[in-house]
Amino acid sequence: MKITDLFVKRPVLAIVVNLVILIAGLQAIRSLSVRQYPRSDIAEVQVSTVYVGANADLVRGFITTPLERVIASADGIDYMESTSAQGLSTITVHLKLNYDTNAALTQVQAKVAQVRNDLPPEAEAPVIELQTADNEFAAMYLGFSSADLDQNQITDYLTRVVQPKLSAVSGVQRADVLGGRTFAMRIWLKPEQMAARGVSPSDVKDALAKNNYLSALGSTKGSAVSVNLVANTDLRTADEFRQLVVKQQNGVVVRLGEIADIVLGAENYESDVRFNGETATFMGIWVL
**Cα separation of 282 and 179, whole Å?**
6
Quote the pLDDT of residue 275.
80
DSSP state letters, 209-278: HHHS--EEEEEEE-SS-EEEEEE-----SHHHHHT-EEEEETTEEEEHHHHEEEEEEES--S---EETTE
Quote the pLDDT of residue 261.
92
- In single-letter form, the type of residue at position 86 comes to Q
Quote the pLDDT of residue 70.
93
**Cα separation of 79 and 44, whole Å?**
10
**Cα separation of 135 and 175, whole Å?**
14
> Which pTM value belongs to this model?
0.59
**Cα separation of 214 and 20, whole Å?**
79
Quote the pLDDT of residue 280.
84
**Cα separation of 164 and 8, whole Å?**
70
Please, are residues 49 and 60 in contact by the beta-carbon 8 Å criterion? no
Quote the pLDDT of residue 136.
67
Please, are residues 271 and 123 in contact by the beta-carbon 8 Å criterion? no
For the chain, 288 residues long, the average pLDDT of each consecutive 10-residue run is 73 87 88 72 88 89 93 90 92 89 90 91 90 73 86 89 90 85 89 89 87 75 81 81 87 89 85 80 86
